């Protein structure tokens, strides 16, 4: 992680996302810009929260641990997302792991500043309410996917959700099948069978080190409109 205090850089994100409407005294808040590389952990499940994070560039993956020690995928997040709101309000340790899946930037406000100033700011609290409501909605969707969808449907949902970084009808390289299988709550063997089935149906085409999505529309049909986001 790298930290920037460059005013012009921070102010450009405040302007881009109209954050002046979120913070009544935005120009007196000591923002940091935290920069994470792909695969770097932003928040680690079980750690103590150090502040509020606002995703302003890039993409993150949110997962939660299960009893077997494996992780289960909850959602992918895009700007503008907020992290740390649940932990701040409930006064608990970090509930889910947040990991950068691309080069990612987040505006950060330290916990002390949030508690002393922002928790009395009705604009900020109104924004938190919006994001908490959205998280409740996405948690309902992810529960439906993880509990009721077949592995084939879950894999289709995973691919459709991540389409922006790969693009349909383009080659997808270096997929970590065991990791994806774990995130989808299945085994590597079962997921490979699903990939073989989709390949036989002409939806995917296996290639060395990955595969090509041929029929994006059919993959979208299998996903039934559900998304990990």
Domains of the chain are: 2-147 (2.60.120.10), 149-223 (1.10.10.10)
The pLDDT value given to residue 169: 43
The pLDDT value given to residue 27: 93
Report the percentage of the chain scoring pLDDT > 90.
61
Contact 39, 99 (CB under 8 A): yes
The pLDDT value given to residue 2: 97
The pLDDT value given to residue 172: 58
225 falls in which pLDDT band (50, 70, 90)?
confident
| Mean pLDDT within 143-147 | 82
The pLDDT value given to residue 168: 45
Mean pLDDT of the chain: 89
The pLDDT value given to residue 175: 63
């Amino acid at each position: 992680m790298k930290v920037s205090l460059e005013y012009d850089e921070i102010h450009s994100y405040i302007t881009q996302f109209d954050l002046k409407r979120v913070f009544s005294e935005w120009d007196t808040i000591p923002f940091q810009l935290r920069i994470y590389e792909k695969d770097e952990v932003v928040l680690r499940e079980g750690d103590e929260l150090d502040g509020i994070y606002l995703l302003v560039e890039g993409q993150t993956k949110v997962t939660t641990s299960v009893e077997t020690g494996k992780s289960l995928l909850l959602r992918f997040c895009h700007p503008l997302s907020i992290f740390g709101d649940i932990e701040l309000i409930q006064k608990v340790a970090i509930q889910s792991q947040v990991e950068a899946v691309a080069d990612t930037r987040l505006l950060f406000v330290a916990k002390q500043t949030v508690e002393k100033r922002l928790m009395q700011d009705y604009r900020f609290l109104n924004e938190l309410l919006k994001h908490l409501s959205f998280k409740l909605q996405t948690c309902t969707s992810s529960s439906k996917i993880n509990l009721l969808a077949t592995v084939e449907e879950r894999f289709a949902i995973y691919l459709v959700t991540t389409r922006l970084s790969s693009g349909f009808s383009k080659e997808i390289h270096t997929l970590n099948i065991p990791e994806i299988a774990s995130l989808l709550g299945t085994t590597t063997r079962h997921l490979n069978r699903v990939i073989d089935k989709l390949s036989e149906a002409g939806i995917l085409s296996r290639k060395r080190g990955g595969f090509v999505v041929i029929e994006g529309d059919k993959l979208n049909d299998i996903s039934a409109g559900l998304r990990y986001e």
